[in-house]
Amino acid sequence: MAETAPPKKSIFRIALGSALGLGTGAAAMYFHAAFDQLVKPAKPLANFQVSADGLTVSVENRATGQSGYWDFGDGTALEPFDPSLQVVTHTYPKPGKYDVKLIVRNFLMEETDRSVNVDLTSPSTASNSPKITDFKVQTITDQVPATFRITGKVQNADELIWKLGDRTEHTSMPAEQIDRYVTFDHDGRYPIVLTAFSKSRKDPQVNVESVEVKKTLKDTYDTMVFVTDAGTKTEQRTHMVKLPVPIRDAKGPTKGFNRVLQASPNSVILKAEIDRSMPTVAKNVKCEVAKDQKSATISGEWTASGDAVAKAAGGSDLAVPVILTEEMRTTLSPRRQSLSGVMDAESKITVKLPPRPLGAGIRTVSVDFGLSTRDGKRMKIVQGTLDANGVWQSTPTAIGGQQVRIQAVMKNDTVVMSFISPK
């Protein structure tokens, strides 16, 4: 039977349907491509770091995502994930091993997770972990250039890592007290993060703060003050050293002993003496400290034969107890801090300097006088370094259409800048 051609109307409908189908598919492909490029959010990332102090854990949030929850693995209620919360703490009811889990999602409900095992079976050892207490950030000036004072206490730490805005600093831990200043030259919000490590680098302690730096409201004369401290830190300690001396050698019993005891690293010996616990088997015992104080010579004679001394000592060697008083001398690495101050109604700028670190004997202070404008720019006018008497003067400089000198005077660790006659 011959095939019958479809009516013209049917042909028109088929062609139109095919065109619409192709058009719809192309539109859908374009829509998905545009959505992926312009609308679709980044994949969520579950990332965090855990530190423990006793039965309390601190979780530093490094995740990206809009929602989710924390599961601390001890049967307590899940805690909602807050992307703006940088540190989350949780206290466990008893020692044990727990899994800290984070699940994060973006607004398309794409999901990712991460788990970290925390061993709290011996929480008493956490007392040796680094601790940061009384951590505070105080605003000195909050307009560009802005200065903030950071104070606090650190225990059981051997290394500190600072993140100050986009700057990172690594320092050893010379003391438990923190007292430093930091200056930011541009407006915005800046993180201040302090991480304390022990030698084992286990259980680091992290403290996170942030500061808001405002734009300059009006054209203002200001001063940047740079302080560099250097010197030698000295510490004394008295401790016992058990110095082994042979009672016999290859030739037989010895008649006495003469040994040299070296000072500890970076130390000198101030005094050396025999402890009272020394067995009464030696006479004419002397402890002589070398002129350079880098060593001490311990000498003496046996009061009896080698066999009798060995019997009294309980072996072939005798441990001579020496009490050493040593002084450790550590050269401090130059420590530079920056501060700022603005001109007051009396045309003076007063900047209180930070306290000097223990052992710092040399302090260098330099100043940078300039003009900060409302558009966020700063123009340097003059700069210099204070002399040994704590005084600096600029050459004659045009300020406000007049020739003046700018003077800086330091007294009691406070710098005052003012205008003086150009003569």
Q: What is the CATH number of the domain that holds 155?
A: 2.60.40.2450
Residues 95 and 161 in one domain: no
In a domain, 401, yes or no: no
- pLDDT tens digits in sequence order for the chain, 423 residues long: 444 444 444 433 434 344 344 444 444 444 454 445 445 667 888 888 888 877 888 898 888 888 898 999 998 888 889 888 888 889 888 888 999 999 998 878 888 999 999 988 865 444 567 889 999 999 998 988 899 999 999 988 888 999 999 999 887 765 678 888 899 988 999 999 999 988 766 778 999 999 999 988 889 999 999 999 888 878 888 988 888 888 777 777 778 889 999 998 888 999 999 988 787 778 898 999 999 999 999 999 888 766 666 665 555 567 788 999 999 877 777 878 899 999 998 899 999 998 887 777 889 999 999 999 888 888 999 999 999 999 999 999 998 888 999 999 999 999 999 999 887
pTM above 0.75, yes or no: no
Instruction: Tally Cβ neighbours within 10 Å of residue 12.
Output: 11
Residues 118 and 67 in one domain: yes
In a domain, 88, yes or no: yes
In a domain, 225, yes or no: no
Domain limit, last residue, from 329, 352, 379: 329
In a domain, 382, yes or no: no
Residues 114 and 145 in one domain: no
In a domain, 196, yes or no: yes
What does the alpha-carbon distance between residue 343 and residue 341 come to, in Å, rounded to a whole number?
7
Contact predicate 330/358, CB 8 Å: no
Residues 118 and 146 in one domain: no
Domain limit, last residue, from 329, 346, 370: 329
In a domain, 355, yes or no: no
Print the domain residue range for 102.
48-128
In sequence order, which residues have a C-beta less than 8 Å from that of residue 151 and are 6 or more positions away? 134, 135, 136, 138, 178, 179
Residues 241 and 318 in one domain: yes
Residues 124 and 138 in one domain: no
In a domain, 404, yes or no: no
Residues 247 and 320 in one domain: yes
Residues 244 and 177 in one domain: no
Domain limit, last residue, from 303, 329, 355: 329
Residues 123 and 141 in one domain: no
Contact predicate 258/288, CB 8 Å: no
Q: What angle do CA 95, 99, 103 make, to 5 degrees?
A: 145
In a domain, 384, yes or no: no
Q: Determine if residue 128 is left, alpha or beta; phi over 0 gives left, psi from -120 to 50 gives alpha, anything else beta.
A: alpha
Residues 91 and 60 in one domain: yes
Residues 138 and 209 in one domain: yes
How many Cα atoms within 13 Å fall on the side-chain side of residue 288?
11
Residues 89 and 61 in one domain: yes
Structure tokens at 251: 């030739």
- The widest CA-to-CA distance across the chain, in whole angstroms, is 137
DSSP state string for 360-405 = EEEEEEEEEEEEE-TTS-EEEEEEEE--TTSEEEPPPEEETTEEEE
Burial track 252-269 (b if 16+ CB lie within 10 A, e otherwise): ebbebbeeebebeeebbb
Amino acid identity at 401: G
Contact predicate 180/219, CB 8 Å: no
Number of domains in the chain: 3
